[in-house]
Amino acid sequence: MIRPSIAAFALLLGTPLLAQQAPPTLPPSQAAPADEGLSGSVSDESDWQDLGIAIPAFATNADVPTATSAGSTGALGTALAQVITANLRNNGLFKPVGPDSLPRPAFDQIRAPAFETWSGRSAEMLVQGFVRPGDGDQLLVGCYLYDVALKQQLASAAWQVAPGDWRRAAHKCSDMVYARLSGESPFFDSRIAYIAETGPKDRRMKRLAIMDSDGANHRYLTTGQTIALTPRYSPDYKSILYLSYFNGQPRIYIYDLERNSQRLLLQSQNPLFAPRWSPDGKWVLYSMAIAGNTDIYKMPASGGAAVRLTDTPGIDIGGSFSPDGSRIVFESDRSGSQQIYVMNADGSAQKRISFIGGRAATPEWSPRGDQIAFTHITGNFRIGVMDPAGQGMRYLTDSWQDEAPTWAPNGRIIQFFRTARGSGKASLWQVDLTGRNERRLVTPVDGSDPAWGPLRP
Amino acid sequence: MAHARLTLTAAIAASLALSACASKAPKQLPPDPGAAVSTGSSQGDTSAPAPGSQADFVAQMMGQDTIYFDTDKFNVDGADQAALQAQAAWLQKYPAKRASVEGHADERGTREYNLALGERRANAAKNYLVSLGVDAGRLTTVSYGKERPVALGSDEESWAKNRRAVTITID
């Protein structure tokens, strides 16, 4: 098994950014560069004054073969810029123009851009970079962000990556640009676990699968012989917690991604549901039904005795920890229908926070701690958010059946799955906190139960 | 920020998948639940089924192997009681037979809640069978939530058919 590593260097060659700490204001972009065509649906692009960003192919000092899937360093330079362009598109902030319609800068222009060329193309920002061989078969990728009008470098970084990790360099570069220009935390260098679905509606085959945040490096982990449901990446990305049936009984498994094996975490005569990690990865929350009554329990992730956290009659299920691990948001129908409750991590001080018509389900605490995303059911299912006190509730989506939100690592984007009426076919979608920018994340087959992992270290 | 220096060793299993979707079969998987997922009740055999078999149970019940529930509900109503009485009578005629009660929900509920709701429904059916004298040790329950609908439409009629508990005797 390869243990790839990424080394990030401060670029000694780059000019460190001192001034310009505040993100630049977004000027109106008249004569925006020609767009290459959106891959998703942007519901309300016209309201936004997107920042035009030119992302030409990364330069190289010599076009030499690499061990990557992208080909030579020259081809890799184009592929890196394409990945960055796709990342920055469709999030309501930027209007990126990629390498396919831009001239490729020379290697010595990377640190000294031809600003006139780019201002002539109405680019407000410029992302340039280089790729060249590093130690062994590794690759060195540099990434620079320039303000074209100010003719000033805003940020730079470089990473040495194993060949199989070349896309991570593009995600790191995207994160640098996104964080510098938006003032938000990065999120592109992250992964998603979900359930890949195939087959007829009455016998869907459900397989555990993982992929990068942009859908690349997709991989199936289970064969689909048994139903797999509700995966969650561990905070260190080493394993995935999920539910699988065994002889007709749902049990909780942990899939070890380093060993490519799975182990049974918990089995019981009683059905088990809704496994979740604590933010430090030391605890697992789950629900267990005894004689039709479902409660939430907590146990050490390494195994051991469980503690019961809820004891009211009804279905208590679907816990999600606050980022500091001190509280848990969960759903309960103890009042008659599904509503959202918060309790301390030891089960004390249980308090209902949602008081809305219909049913409120699948709460997920934002990694920033400021919002809780959930599924609101009034016939149709919509994704909504509210603060941890249950205030400021608002909808982000409006469709027939949108379910099970999961947060991007920066707490600004929510992923969920959308089920089509009739066919029951499910697909993965993303929406930002404004609700304006919605896009589908394309998967090889249908997808449901997405779980977004944290930013990779 | 440009001076941050970090070195990391990320465990990236996916890096193996250089060549697109290299799907690797994991080493140990739970066996296929197979026949346990028999939500249909058609055995489609023209000859008379063997007395005391699941096929016999299905034939004798004439649809009463399944009981139905209202949205979000799990109470056993009058029609359900009649069906469960027929089931109990059969089970008492064949005291060596064990049975599994499968609980299901319609697609208009969230996945995890529906798993718990299906369990609640299966349990309600089981409890009623026990109240009629069937030994609780002969009965198990399982929930498939909304994972195994019998009616495939997205309409009230289909949802009503999918909110069910099905008793399946174990041959």
A227–B15 C-beta distance less than 8 A: no
As given in the structure block, the two tokens for residue A274 are: 């809704």
Q: Measured between alpha carbons, how far is residue A52 from residues A88, A171, A436 in Å?
A: 11, 19, 19
Mean pLDDT of B52-63: 96
The reply to whether B148 touches chain A by the CB within 8 Å rule is yes
The letter for the amino acid at A47 is D
Structural domains of chain A, count: 2
Condensed to tens digits (0 to 9), the pLDDT of residues A135-152 reads: 999 999 999 999 999 999
A292–B10 C-beta distance less than 8 A: no
Q: ipTM score of the complex?
A: 0.88
CA pair distance A85, A95, nearest whole angstrom: 9
- The reply to whether A346 and A430 lie within a common domain is yes
- The reply to whether A162 and A254 lie within a common domain is no
Condensed to tens digits (0 to 9), the pLDDT of residues B11-42 reads: 333 333 333 333 334 445 444 444 444 444 44
Mean pLDDT of A197-205: 96
- The reply to whether A256 and A122 lie within a common domain is no
Q: What is the pLDDT of residue A50?
A: 81
- The reply to whether A208 and A114 lie within a common domain is no
Domain boundaries of chain B, sorted by first residue: 50-170
**Which residues have C-beta within 8 Å of that of residue B135, sequence separation ≥ 6?**
none
- The reply to whether A430 and A281 lie within a common domain is yes
Condensed to tens digits (0 to 9), the pLDDT of residues A266-281 reads: 999 899 999 999 999 9
Å between B69 CA and nearest CA of chain A: 15
- The reply to whether A386 and A409 lie within a common domain is yes
A247–B36 C-beta distance less than 8 A: yes
**Which residues have C-beta within 8 Å of that of residue A203, sequence separation ≥ 6?**
B37, B148
Pairing type for strands A51-54 and A125-133 reads parallel
Condensed to tens digits (0 to 9), the pLDDT of residues B87-120 reads: 999 999 999 999 999 999 999 999 999 999 999 9
- The reply to whether A207 and A160 lie within a common domain is no
Domain B50-170: give its CATH superfamily: OmpA-like domain (3.30.1330.60)
As given in the structure block, the two tokens for residue A65 are: 């073969």
Which chain A residues are within 8 Å of B36, Cβ to Cβ? Answer: 247-248
- The reply to whether A76 and A147 lie within a common domain is yes
- Portion 3-32 of B in contact with A at CB < 8 A: 3-32
Mean pLDDT of A47-59: 84
| Domain final residue, candidates A136, A153, A182 | A182
- The reply to whether A385 and A441 lie within a common domain is yes
CATH at residue A108:
3.40.50.10070
Domain membership of residue A395 as a residue range: 191-452
The pTM assigned to this predicted structure is 0.85
- Is A457 within a domain? no
| Domain final residue, candidates A164, A182, A200 | A182
Q: What is the pLDDT of residue A90?
A: 74
Where residue B101 falls (left for φ over 0; alpha for ψ -120 to 50; beta otherwise) is beta
**Which residues have C-beta within 8 Å of that of residue B78, sequence separation ≥ 6?**
none
As given in the structure block, the two tokens for residue A395 are: 């909808």
Of B82, B83, B79, B99, residue with least CA distance to B91: B99
